[in-house]
Amino acid sequence: MNTDLAVIFPKSIARRFNRGKAFHILPLPLALPPIEIQVHSQTQFAADAGIAWLRETIHAMFHQPA
Protein backbone atom coordinates (compact mmCIF):
# COMPACT_ATOMS: atom_id res chain seq x y z
CA MET A 1 0.00 0.00 0.00
CA ASN A 2 1.43 3.37 -0.97
CA THR A 3 0.11 6.61 0.46
CA ASP A 4 1.28 10.10 1.27
CA LEU A 5 -1.03 10.27 4.28
CA ALA A 6 -0.03 10.31 7.93
CA VAL A 7 -2.01 10.05 11.15
CA ILE A 8 -1.23 10.76 14.80
CA PHE A 9 -2.53 8.25 17.35
CA PRO A 10 -1.51 7.42 20.89
CA LYS A 11 1.13 4.69 20.67
CA SER A 12 -1.14 2.08 22.26
CA ILE A 13 -3.84 2.69 19.65
CA ALA A 14 -1.35 2.78 16.78
CA ARG A 15 -0.03 -0.63 17.84
CA ARG A 16 -3.55 -2.07 17.87
CA PHE A 17 -4.21 -0.79 14.34
CA ASN A 18 -0.84 -2.06 13.15
CA ARG A 19 -1.02 -5.68 14.28
CA GLY A 20 -0.30 -6.79 10.70
CA LYS A 21 2.78 -4.53 10.57
CA ALA A 22 1.43 -2.74 7.46
CA PHE A 23 2.43 0.71 8.74
CA HIS A 24 5.54 2.39 10.10
CA ILE A 25 5.12 3.73 13.64
CA LEU A 26 7.43 6.66 14.27
CA PRO A 27 7.87 8.82 17.38
CA LEU A 28 6.77 12.44 17.18
CA PRO A 29 9.63 14.95 17.06
CA LEU A 30 7.96 16.96 19.85
CA ALA A 31 6.35 16.36 23.21
CA LEU A 32 2.58 16.55 23.49
CA PRO A 33 0.66 17.20 26.70
CA PRO A 34 -1.42 14.32 28.05
CA ILE A 35 -5.05 14.22 26.99
CA GLU A 36 -8.07 13.37 29.10
CA ILE A 37 -10.54 10.90 27.63
CA GLN A 38 -14.04 10.70 29.04
CA VAL A 39 -16.97 8.49 28.10
CA HIS A 40 -20.48 9.78 28.63
CA SER A 41 -23.79 8.02 28.06
CA GLN A 42 -27.37 8.82 28.87
CA THR A 43 -28.77 7.27 32.04
CA GLN A 44 -31.64 5.73 30.06
CA PHE A 45 -29.04 3.45 28.41
CA ALA A 46 -27.10 2.61 31.59
CA ALA A 47 -28.48 -0.94 31.71
CA ASP A 48 -27.99 -1.59 27.97
CA ALA A 49 -25.50 -4.47 27.56
CA GLY A 50 -24.11 -3.08 24.29
CA ILE A 51 -23.45 0.36 25.78
CA ALA A 52 -21.85 -1.23 28.86
CA TRP A 53 -19.59 -3.31 26.59
CA LEU A 54 -18.58 -0.20 24.62
CA ARG A 55 -17.79 1.78 27.79
CA GLU A 56 -15.69 -1.11 29.16
CA THR A 57 -13.87 -1.57 25.84
CA ILE A 58 -12.99 2.12 25.59
CA HIS A 59 -11.85 2.12 29.22
CA ALA A 60 -9.63 -0.91 28.61
CA MET A 61 -8.09 0.71 25.52
CA PHE A 62 -7.22 4.02 27.16
CA HIS A 63 -6.81 3.31 30.87
CA GLN A 64 -3.25 3.76 32.12
CA PRO A 65 -2.72 2.74 35.74
CA ALA A 66 -1.21 5.45 37.93
Q: What is the tens place of the pLDDT at every residue in 18-55? A: 989 988 899 989 998 887 888 888 889 888 999 999 98
Predicted local confidence at residue 1, as pLDDT: 61
Residue 2: pLDDT above 80? no
What is the reported pLDDT for 49? 94
Banded model confidence at residue 5, pLDDT cuts 50, 70, 90: confident
What's the burial of 37, exposed, middle or buried (CB within 10 Å: 0-12/13-18/19+)? exposed
| pTM (predicted TM-score) | 0.48
* List of E strands, 1-66: none
Q: In the predicted model, is pLDDT for residue 66 greater than 70? A: no
